[in-house]
Amino acid sequence: MNRLQDFFSGYGYTVTSGLATANCVTSTFSASWVEKYFREGFDQIDPIFKFAEQNKRRCGFKQLTDIDMQTPLFEEAKAVSADSNIMITDFLGGSTMVLGGVNPDFSSQHLIDAQEVCKLTHRQVMTDRIEHLTDKQIDLLELIEMGLRDSEISYELGISSSAIAQRKKAICGTLGLTNFQTAAQLYTARKWSGLISP
Amino acid sequence: MKSNFLCSFSVTSLSSDAFDIDLYHESLALRKRTFVDEMRWPLATLDDMETDQYDTLFSHHITAKVDNLVVATLRLLPTTHNLFGSTYMILDAHRGRLPDMPASIMQQEIIDPATWEASRLAICKSVLPRDRNALLRELINYAMDFIRGQNGSGMLGLMNPVFIRIFNRLGFSVSQFGPVCHQSDGPICVIKYDF
């Protein structure tokens, strides 16, 4: 299976349902660069986040040209091998993954595979967060997986429909999603992983 | 329970007088489709079947069928199994003898004629999510009845720890029997059923 390091000599990505911060970065770039990048507000001028903003709620790809990269930001990034020329965004149920990768020889042949790896990485990040759900949240997801309606769930768990709505919202918050259906799908996929193919 | 999932269960063993070669083949074929073709696990195969060192004269293979098609399978092996250096999968993994599986996974070693191991649980992806808990509950009930018939009273399995809560809600007496290990498919731990 391909991995991000098979496509890029260095990369960094954020996964968030809101604004990117240093806390939501996973990167092979140096920690001091990532810290400086956000402290000095480079994210405000980096074309990758402009691209992500334009692609809001969509998956996308862009390769920067040498002219695009003739800026002080890229001069500084190049000195620490963090001059990402490839930008990929992936969207999943309200969560956006924004990836910048370094590969001056990136070809169109790499594109589909690299996007697929991003998609899988994004999904993996989200499913790993399922470990942080509480037992009560899991009970709700179980009943939803079994096809129960909210009124039936209310009876089963002995909670009001507004408590169900709050619990759904809390699940989305824990997973960093805005779409509850996606949260339920990720839960089911994770639960049955290793027993049933996704 | 909302699910109206209906299926029939059978068990077969190479050592049984009533050995059902078709059922045995269908069980190994579902394992190959699930683990090798779909999940891409690097397991040994022969034609359309997946098999390993624990498919022996001592193993029993449960299958669940819907409309004459196998939709789930599970292998049972007594924890006293010891053949050509292989015990049972969980214990061999615990002892670090299975390179693709985590070691030190058991709270303590169990070799007990009353305790059986359930392994190679595979469910066909055609089973809808809403029906899966019901299918699994019936599969485990069938396995427990079989083990009781062999004078057994316990079963070990290796699963996502989320099933501990699910199984206890479904009425089983289940507990975690070792640390949670993180693998590419997610977390797993040894689960002990007492009945």
Structure tokens at A52: 């992500």
The reply to whether residue A191 touches residue B38, judged by beta carbons under 8 angstroms, is no
Mean pLDDT of the residues in chain B: 95
Alpha helices in chain A (DSSP H): 31-39, 42-45, 47-54, 72-79, 108-128, 135-145, 150-157, 161-175, 180-192
Q: What is the ipTM of this complex?
A: 0.91
pLDDT at position B1, please?
47
Which residues on chain B are in Cβ contact (under 8 Å) with A181? none
pLDDT at position A20, please?
84
The reply to whether residue A193 touches residue B162, judged by beta carbons under 8 angstroms, is no
Each residue's pLDDT tens digit, B159-191: 999 999 999 999 999 999 999 999 888 899 999
pLDDT at position A23, please?
84
Judged against a pLDDT cut of 80, whether residue B3 lies above it is answered with no
Cα–Cα dist B33/B41, whole Å: 10
The reply to whether residue A146 touches residue B2, judged by beta carbons under 8 angstroms, is yes
Question: Is residue B107 very low, low, confident or very high in pLDDT (cuts 50, 70, 90)?
Answer: very high
Residue of B nearest to A194 (CA): B185
The torsion angles phi and psi of A137, rounded to 5 degrees, stand at -65, -40
Predicted model pTM: 0.89
What is the enclosing helix (H) or strand (E) of B45?
A: strand B45-46
Cα–Cα dist B119/B61, whole Å: 10
Each residue's pLDDT tens digit, B45-89: 999 999 999 999 999 999 999 999 999 999 999 999 999 999 999
Which residues on chain B are in Cβ contact (under 8 Å) with A147? 2-3, 130
Each residue's pLDDT tens digit, B111-135: 999 999 999 999 999 999 999 999 9
The reply to whether residue A194 touches residue B185, judged by beta carbons under 8 angstroms, is yes
Residue of A nearest to B31 (CA): A195
pLDDT at position B5, please?
76
Question: Taking a C-beta distance cutoff of 8 angstroms, is the pair B151, B78 a contact?
Answer: no
Judged against a pLDDT cut of 50, whether residue B92 lies above it is answered with yes
Tell me which residues of chain A, numbers 86 to 145, contact chain B at a CB-CB cutoff of 8 Å: 127, 131, 135, 138-139, 142, 145
Compare CB distances from A147 to B2, B123, B186 and report the shortest one's residue: B2
**Cα dihedral B106/B110/B114/B115 (nearest 10):** 20
pLDDT at position A31, please?
93
pLDDT at position A53, please?
86
**Cα dihedral A112/A114/A118/A120 (nearest 10):** 70
The reply to whether residue A146 touches residue B133, judged by beta carbons under 8 angstroms, is yes
**pLDDT tens string for chain A (198 positions)?**
568 999 999 999 999 988 888 888 999 999 999 999 999 999 999 999 889 888 877 889 999 999 999 999 999 999 999 999 999 999 999 999 999 999 999 988 888 999 999 999 999 999 999 999 999 999 999 999 999 999 999 999 999 999 999 999 999 999 999 999 999 999 999 999 999 876
Question: Taking a C-beta distance cutoff of 8 angstroms, is the pair A117, A3 a contact?
Answer: yes
